[in-house]
């Protein structure tokens, strides 16, 4: 149908062109009118007109092709006009939009991470102080001695007010200032110590006799009753923390013999502390010249040695010499 319309249009166009040419032709008119011949309608050369038409007309196939092309162009134009802005985007434009979105997302993530790192950095805790918390539990030990169990907990204090434990120590301390005990109070433990330190007591006596032998002096006899008396003295020194010839009750050291019913002539006492064995204790006493002189006295015949450890493990020693 389109081909027919195009053909009719082309014929009308050619006919109109021919009329115009005939109306305006002069002596130089186209060859479809012979020179010198009449141009009236009766004398019109139809064959010449048809030949000229076929020469100047557009082939039907080309006309149809152009028509279809024009129609397709109009169709595409209509489709493009009807598309939304999003649908009319070309592929490069879509790719560009996607890339921009990815870039924006990446920038947002980087910004968030940067803020998080900055927050962590600026809020980092630092140690501003240390603190010790002590928990003490007090109790009676024995003979008036007080015992205190201590738990010390160490903390680091941080800038945000929090605290973190760094160490914990437990220990026991003793207060000997309240010691008060009689000879009879101490005697059971003194006898126990005499048995506990039997070997070291014998070693101490042997060391003293060795000094005496080297000085050509008679050996001393280790007397059990004197050893009990010496152990009483060692025990009361251990729980009072006091060395010396005066007892915790302010009496002289020789009163321990009287308390135990021991008869002795001219008793003499030497004391020391901090030695784990009898030989070392005897050697410590020998190093003092005044004490050594008493240890090797000619008129001494008996010796008693006592030992006792205080609650913290320090060993106290007592040597009693008699005629």
Summarised one tens digit per residue, pLDDT across range 179-213 is: 999 999 999 999 999 999 999 999 999 999 999 99
pLDDT at 52: 60
* Least confident span in 82-86, 161-165, 259-263: 82-86
Residue 154, H or E segment: strand 146-158
Cα dihedral 171, 174, 175, 180, rounded to 10, equals: 160
Is residue 305 within 8 A of residue 222, CB to CB? The reply is yes
Comparing 44-58, 235-249, 255-269, 308-322, the range with the smallest average pLDDT is 44-58
Q: What is the mean pLDDT of the chain?
A: 79
311: phi > 0 → left, psi -120 to 50 → alpha, else beta; which? Answer: alpha
Q: Alpha-carbon distance 126 to 55, whole Å?
A: 102
Q: Which residue in the block uniquely carries the two structure tokens 């201590």? A: 150
Query: Is the Cα dihedral 310, 228, 257, 189 positive or negative?
Result: positive
pLDDT of 96 reads 59
CB-based contact 33:22 (threshold 8 Å):
yes
Q: Would you state the torsion angle of the CA atoms of residues 174, 177, 180, 186, taken in this order, to the nearest 10 degrees?
A: 40
**Cβ contacts of 120 within 8 Å, gap of 6 or more:** none
DSSP 50-109: HHHHHHHSPPHHHHHHHHHHHHHHHHHHHHHHHS-TTTT--HHHHHHHHHHHHHHHHHHH
Q: Among candidates 230, 245, 237, 144, which has minimal Cα distance to 191?
A: 230
Using a cut of 0.85, tell me whether the model's pTM lies above it: no
- Please give the pLDDT value at position 238: 97
Task: Flag whether pLDDT at 23 surpasses 60.
Answer: no
Euclidean distance between CA atoms 60 and 215, whole angstroms? 157
In angstroms, the first-to-last Cα distance of the chain is 162
Q: What is the dihedral sign for C-alpha 192, 193, 194, 198?
A: positive
Beta carbons of 229 and 262 less than 8 angstroms apart: yes
The pLDDT confidence band at residue 64, using thresholds 50, 70 and 90, is: very low
Q: Which of these ranges, 89-103, 187-201, 239-253, has the smallest mean pLDDT?
A: 89-103
Comparing CA positions, the residue from 273, 304, 120 lying closest to residue 202 is: 304
100 vs 41: which has the higher pLDDT: 100
Beta bridge partners of 149: 137, 172
Q: For the CA atoms of 300, 298, 275, 146, what is the dihedral angle to 10 degrees?
A: 40
Residues 254, 321: Cα–Cα separation, whole Å: 11
Between CA 39 and CA 7 the distance in angstroms is 28
232: pLDDT strictly greater than 70: yes
Q: What number of CA atoms fall less than 13 Å from residue 125's CA on the CB side?
A: 11
pLDDT (tens digit per residue) in 274-291: 999 999 999 999 998 788
- Above 90 in pLDDT, residue 307? yes
Q: Looking at per-residue confidence, does 40 or 174 come out higher?
A: 174
Q: What is the pLDDT of residue 111?
A: 74
Cα 315 versus chain centre, distance: 45
Structure tokens at 144: 């008036």
Given a cut of 50, is residue 69 above it in pLDDT?
no
Residue 215 has pLDDT above 50, yes or no: yes
pLDDT value of residue 230: 98
Considering only residues 138 and 66, tell me which one the structure prediction assigns the higher pLDDT. Answer: 138
pLDDT of residue 145 exceeding 80, the answer is: yes
- pLDDT for res 117: 54
Percent of the chain, pLDDT > 70? 65
Looking at per-residue pLDDT, the higher value among 179 and 111 belongs to: 179
> pLDDT tens-digit profile of 115-141?
765 565 556 789 999 999 999 999 999
**Reduced to 3 states, what is the DSSP secondary structure of residue 135?**
strand
């Amino acid at each position: 149908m389109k081909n027919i319309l195009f053909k009719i249009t082309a014929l009308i166009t050619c006919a109109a062109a021919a009329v115009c040419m005939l109306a305006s032709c002069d002596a130089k008119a186209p060859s479809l009118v012979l020179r010198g011949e009449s141009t009236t309608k009766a004398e019109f050369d139809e064959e010449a007109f048809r030949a000229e038409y076929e020469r100047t007309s557009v082939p039907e196939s080309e006309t149809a092709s152009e028509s279809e092309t024009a129609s397709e162009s109009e169709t595409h134009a209509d489709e493009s006009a009807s598309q939304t802005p999003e649908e009319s985007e070309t592929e490069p434009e879509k790719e560009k939009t996607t890339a921009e979105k990815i870039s924006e997302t990446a920038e947002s993530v980087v910004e968030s991470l940067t803020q998080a790192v900055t927050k962590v950095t600026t809020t980092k805790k630092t140690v501003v102080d240390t603190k010790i918390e002590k928990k003490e539990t007090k109790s009676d030990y024995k003979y008036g001695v007080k015992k205190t169990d201590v738990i010390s907990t160490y903390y680091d204090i941080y800038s945000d007010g929090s605290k973190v434990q760094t160490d914990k120590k437990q220990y026991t301390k003793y207060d000997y200032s309240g010691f008060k005990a009689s000879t009879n109070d101490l005697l059971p433990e003194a006898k126990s110590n005499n048995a506990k330190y039997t070997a070291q007591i014998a070693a101490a006596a042997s060391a003293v006799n060795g000094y005496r032998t080297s000085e050509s002096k008679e050996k001393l006899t280790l007397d059990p009753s004197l050893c009990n008396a010496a152990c009483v003295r060692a025990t009361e020194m251990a729980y009072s923390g006091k060395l010396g010839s005066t007892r915790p009750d302010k009496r002289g050291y020789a009163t321990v013999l009287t308390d135990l019913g021991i008869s002795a002539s001219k008793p003499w006492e030497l004391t020391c502390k901090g030695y784990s064995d009898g030989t070392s204790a005897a050697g410590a006493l020998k190093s003092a010249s005044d004490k050594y002189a008493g240890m090797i006295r000619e008129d001494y015949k008996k010796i008693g040695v006592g030992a006792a450890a205080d609650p913290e493990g320090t060993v106290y020693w007592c040597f009693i010499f008699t005629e």
